[in-house]
Amino acid sequence: MGVEFIYPEFEVIRNEARCIACRVCERQCANEVHAYSEARGLMISDESKCVNCQRCVSLCPTRALKIVKSDCVLRENANWQNDTIREIYKQASSGGVLLSSMGNPKPLPVYWDKILINASQVTNPPIDPLREPMETKVFLGKKPEKIHRNADGNLDCALPPQIELSMPVMFSAMSYGSISYNAHASLARAASALGILYNTGEGGLHEDFYRYGPHTIVQVASGRFGVHEDYLEAGAAIEIKMGQGAKPGIGGHLPGAKIVGDVSRTRMIPEGTDAISPAPHHDIYSIEDLRQLVYSLKEATAYRKPVIVKVAAVHNIAAIASGIARSGADIIAIDGFRGGTGAAPTRIRDNVGIPIELALAAVDQRLRDEGIRNNVSLVVGGSIRCASDVVKAIALGADACYIATAAVLALGCHLCRTCHTGKCNWGIATQQPDLVKRLNPDIGSERLINLMTAWRHEIMELMGGMGINSIEALRGNRLMLRGVGLNEKELEILGISHAGE
Ligand code: SF4
Ligand code: SF4
């Protein structure tokens, strides 16, 4: 025990009258919290190791367990909060950078919750999505500025390469290595069944998943792990990852302990080596350099696949997006500061970047002002939590949304935010075979399909209420949005009026 000892953050409450000492909790907890005491003839707990993942609570057959946040706290202090003091103790003993997982948990504004959606009344009547046609299909990629006719007067229907989605939602980048084989299998299968796309992240594509290629976005990140000709050919689109919402300005790091077996083969790096992606792409220092990579990837795939450039939402995102739109990219993906991650330095995750709502509104407006909005499609992510967030994002100007945290929640994640430890008790953010097998891809993909089916129905209901029957008609339709409790500057950036106006 160090000088800094403080009471554990969580308490394990075991109802002794209900506990039958079946030891399920002991077998299910990879953090070794529970144990059976032969001497005392009962279960005991070392709650200092508990991360509150709720696995034991969910599987206890007699509902004997509860995990509660400890009410044993340091003396109240509005400036020096308990979490801050814990972090200082941790760094004082380790000397290391603090690491965190999942998205920024700080109470910063969530603009989606301060934006309300319109509904038709009396005139311009609502549409009943159960009885009338409603189009949720979208196509991502460059669109022509005007209609062209060929020499014999017929319409020229040839378009640059497009991604077709049955609804405006895709599964965002999560690498094989940061998430398990079974989590990847669930995402790939669900994307195929739904007619949408999932994203390999920067870890390459396991050979078993090549068959899902038409529903796969293959990512090219600064580490270039697992990137080769067949990989590029396999995907429906190629994404250049310049940045990520949870950690703008820095690269990635998958510890050597997770680079085992198939993960090492797929990434094309030796087992046990840390997979470190540099902060910059070492061949990109300007929009011209980015253009070279965009066209190299197009050239490598015979100009048949759209190229996405993914960036984190940062202060001058509108100017950055304008440059990307001129680089030849077909799609810009912007990741807001609440976006999730398998691991990021805590200070970066919690303090760098800007909300996706403001970034999206600023980028869409800038591209319109410059007359280049049709040059690119816009995909946004960074804590899209539900169908109404999707509808608001489309109305603010997005063509589609990326989701990741919502997808892993559907797979059973309980947001304990300890993915970086590699001991995910739900079989998602782990490579430990005994934990991976806890996630059944048949069930996982079915749950993802259910989630997306539910969202699609809700999107149609919300659009119907507005009297709008297609995503195309909703896109950039900011008249359908009103702000509540926002100041004038926020309303100006979002390009919406206040409720009551
Ligand atoms: S870490 Fe999870 S499984 Fe282990 S005791 Fe805590 S809640 Fe239960
Ligand atoms: S993926 Fe697993 S480790 Fe990560 S937050 Fe969810 S339950 Fe916890």
For every residue of 207-245, DSSP letters joined together read GGGGGGGGGEEEEE-TT-TT--HHHHHHSSEEEEE---T
Q: Assign 448 to helix, strand or coil.
A: helix
The number of the ligand 1 atom at minimal distance from the alpha carbon of 65 is: 8
The DSSP 8-state label assigned to residue 164 in this structure reads E
Q: Whose C-alpha lies nearest to ligand 1, atom 4? A: 29
pLDDT attached to residue 370: 97
Residue 274 has pLDDT above 90, yes or no: no
Interval between CA 306 and ligand 1 midpoint (Å): 44
C-alpha–C-alpha distance, residues 359 and 53, integer Å: 32
**Which residue's C-alpha comes closest to atom 7 of ligand 2?**
413
CB 331 within 8 A of CB 140: yes
Residue in the block written with tokens 């909005």: 373
Atom of ligand 1 nearest to the CA of 47: 5
- Distance separating alpha carbons of residues 166 and 160, to the nearest angstrom: 19
Mean pLDDT calculated for residue range 293-315: 97
Task: Work out the angle at residue 264's Cα, subtended by the Cα atoms of residues 263 and 268, and round it to the nearest 5 degrees.
Answer: 120
| Distance from the alpha carbon of residue 50 to the mean position of ligand 1, in angstroms | 5
Measured torsion, CA atoms of residues 210, 213, 216, 220, in degrees rounded to the nearest 10: 70
Q: How far is the CA of 32 from the centre of ligand 1 (A)?
A: 8
pLDDT of residue 337: 96
User: What is the rounded end-to-end Cα distance, in angstroms, of the chain?
Assistant: 61
Q: Tell me the best of 24, 31, 54, 413 to mutate to test the pocket of ligand 1, counting ligand atoms within 8 Å of each CB and taking the most.
A: 31
Q: Which of 207, 382, 227, 395 is nearest to 311 (CA)?
A: 382
Pick the residue with more confidence: 276 or 433? 433
At residue 3, the pLDDT reads: 63
Q: Which of 57, 68, 421 to mutate to test the pocket of ligand 1 (most atoms within 8 A of CB)?
A: 57
Q: What is the pLDDT of residues 153-199, one digit of tens each?
A: 898 888 999 999 999 999 999 999 999 999 999 999 999 999 999 99
Instruction: Say if residue 253's pLDDT is above 80.
Output: no
Q: 424 CB under 6 A from ligand 2?
A: yes
Instruction: Report the distance separating Cα 110 and Cα 2, nearest Å.
Output: 39
* CA 457 to each of CA 388, 410, 451: distance values in angstroms, whole numbers, following the listed order: 11, 17, 10
**What percentage of residues in the chain have a pLDDT greater than 70?**
99
Among the ranges given (12-21, 106-115, 261-270), the one the predictor scored with the smallest mean pLDDT: 261-270
Sign of torsion over alpha carbons 463, 464, 468, 471: positive
31 Cβ inside 6 Å of ligand 1: yes
Which atom of ligand 1 is the closest one to the Cα of 55? Answer: 3
Find the mean pLDDT for residues 428-448: 97
Task: Convert the pLDDT of each residue in 107-159 to its tens digit.
Answer: 999 999 999 999 999 888 999 999 999 999 999 999 988 888 988 889 888 89
**Nearby residues of 409 by Cβ (< 8 Å), 6 or more positions away:** 415
User: Is 0.85 topped by the overall pTM?
Assistant: yes
Q: How far apart are CA 419 and CA 406, in angstroms?
A: 15
At residue 258 the predicted structure's pLDDT band, cuts being 50, 70 and 90, is confident
* Shortest-distance ligand to the CA of residue 67: 1
Pocket lining: 53 vs ligand 2, CB cutoff 6 Å: yes
Query: Three-state DSSP class for 66?
Result: strand
Average pLDDT of the chain to the nearest whole number: 95
> pLDDT value at position 4?
62
DSSP 74: P
Residues 331 and 376 sit within 8 Å (Cβ to Cβ): yes
Atom of ligand 1 nearest to the CA of 49: 1
CA of 146 to the centre of ligand 2 (A): 47
Q: Look up residue 71 and give its two tokens.
A: 């009410």
Q: Are the beta carbons of 81 and 28 closer than 8 angstroms?
A: no
pLDDT confidence of 272, banded at 50, 70, 90? confident
Centroid of ligand 1 to alpha carbon of 25 (angstroms): 8
Domain 138-475 sits in CATH 3.20.20.70: yes
Query: Are 251 and 276 a contacting pair, CB within 8 Å?
Result: yes
Please give the CATH topology (third level) of the domain spanning 10-96.
Alpha-Beta Plaits (3.30.70)
Report the separation in Å between the CA atom of 496 and the middle of ligand 2, taken as the mean of its atom positions. Answer: 36
CA of 160 to the centre of ligand 2 (A): 39
CB 85 within 8 A of CB 74: yes
- Per-residue pLDDT band for 346 (boundaries 50, 70, 90) equals very high
* Residue 7 near residue 66, CB atoms below 8 Å: no
Q: Residue 241 in contact with residue 226, Cβ under 8 Å?
A: no
Beta strand pairing call for 198-199 and 216-220: parallel
* Domain regions of the chain by residue span: 10-96, 138-475
